[in-house]
A = this chain, B = another copy of it.
Amino acid sequence: MAVYTQLANEEIAALIRTEYGLAELALAVGIAQGVENSNYLLELVDGQKFILTLYEKRVAAEDVPFFLGLMQHLAAKGLACPQPVARVNGSLFGKVAGRPAALVTFLPGKCRTRLDVAHCIGAGNALAQLHAAVGGFAGRRANSLSLAGWQAMFEKIEPRVDEIQPGMRQMIAHELGYLNEHWPEMAGLEQGIIHADLFPDNVFFDAHDRVSGVIDFYFACVDAFAYDLAITVNAWCFERDHAFNRTKAHALLAAYRKTRPLSDAERAALPVLVRGAALRFLLTRAHDMLFHEKSALVTPKDPAEYVRKLRFHQSVTDAGEYGI
């Protein structure tokens, strides 16, 4: 949970002019949405819009070049995503108020909170295009939030996690045991750079419900493409009451497979991958709820949502439930 860095208008105007050689700043608005970084919407007098991001402590400074390089690579491949703007000195980033910071182009469109099947199709299609576009990018970043990372995070929250919901400790311990036993051999699943956080707030749509772009690459890392798909199914295919929506899952997976067909190993692994993906967000949300800074901008997200999703996946006996 990021603490918000307040920048003075003059500071932003000087940055834009001096470091980026851009025109006069007309508007600078601190954006309340988003939990990881401090973001400002900037508009120049010529109407161009940008997002200025200050990477707060959850984003490691040494990872910033990877994230920005990835966005630059994807934009060059024609994917609609924010494009980092180089400073006059050629660098894609630099310090602002003591933090690593970058300027990226503003992406039109808006995320949706009420999702129908068309949006799920859009998400599946966007994820497949992303997986097709990462090829050739040389950057590498390990996934710190995979099986070993979950175990470490559980150890940190274990003494207090039942404060959130009684029985949570036992549920996580049991699930970690199951996953340790059943987690697929990753070498058998195609690896690449995954988004790892393709939630509905990170996919923008135009007025005709077509995907206009994907944002927030700050969890991107090397992992199995099918695991990214599992995260996305969890994020898009449950209703507000947390009931699983088969129709949406079928549609999302079919849209994905149209661009990137799944291997037999990926299809077989999906029921375990969605459990792991659910546990991953259960753990980080529980962690954020227990350890969030009081001065943080945004109230922590509810881990109970992922308890229910995980329970659903635990109950699934037939992989056909996921439409594969």
Residue of B with least CB distance to A295: B299
A294 within 8 A of B: yes
**Interface presence of A187 (CB below 8 A):** no
What chain B residues lie within 8 Å of A69 (beta carbons)? none
Task: State in angstroms the CA–CA spacing of A211 and B10 once bound together.
Answer: 15
Q: How many residues of A contact B (CB 8 A)?
A: 31
Q: Is A4 an interface residue (CB 8 A)?
A: yes
Residues of B within 8 A of A13 (CB): 110
- Judging by beta carbons under 8 Å apart, are B111 and A26 in contact? no
Q: Do A29 and B41 form a contact, CB below 8 Å, given A207-B24, A299-B295?
A: yes
CB of A28 within 8 A of chain B? yes
Interface string of A8-44 (1 = CB under 8 A from B): 1111010000000000111111111100000001000
Of residues 268 through 301 on chain A, the ones whose CB sits less than 8 Å from some CB of chain B are: 294-295, 297, 299
B28 touches A31 (CB 8 A): no
Identify A114's interface contact among B4, B10, B45, B299, CB under 8 A: B10
- Bound Cα distance A111, B8 (Å): 9
Chain B residues near A297: list those with CB within 8 A.
32, 297
Tell whether A112 is near chain B: CB-to-CB under 8 Å: yes
User: A177: which B residues are within 8 A, CB to CB?
Assistant: none
Whether A111 and B31, one on each chain, are in contact in the complex, defined by CB atoms closer than 8 angstroms, is no
A298 to chain B, nearest CB (A): 8
Q: Is the CB of B110 within 8 A of A25?
A: yes
A32/B4 in contact, CB under 8 A: yes
| Nearest CB on B from A289, distance (A) | 13
In the bound complex, what is the Cα–Cα distance between A156 and B31 (angstroms)?
Answer: 34
- Say whether B9 contacts A110, CB under 8 Å: yes
Tell me whether A27 and B295 are in contact (CB under 8 A).
no
CA distance A20 to B254 in the complex (A): 40
Within residues 104 to 118 of chain A, which ones have a CB less than 8 A from any CB in chain B? 108, 110-114
A203 → B minimal CB distance (Å): 12
Complex interface: chain B residues within 8 A of A295 (CB)? 299
Mark A residues whose CB is within 8 Å of B: 4, 6, 8-11, 13, 24-33, 41, 45, 47, 108, 110-114, 207, 294-295, 297, 299
Closest 10 interchain pairs by CB?
A30-B32, A8-B113, A9-B110, A32-B32, A294-B294, A30-B33, A10-B114, A29-B31, A295-B299, A29-B41
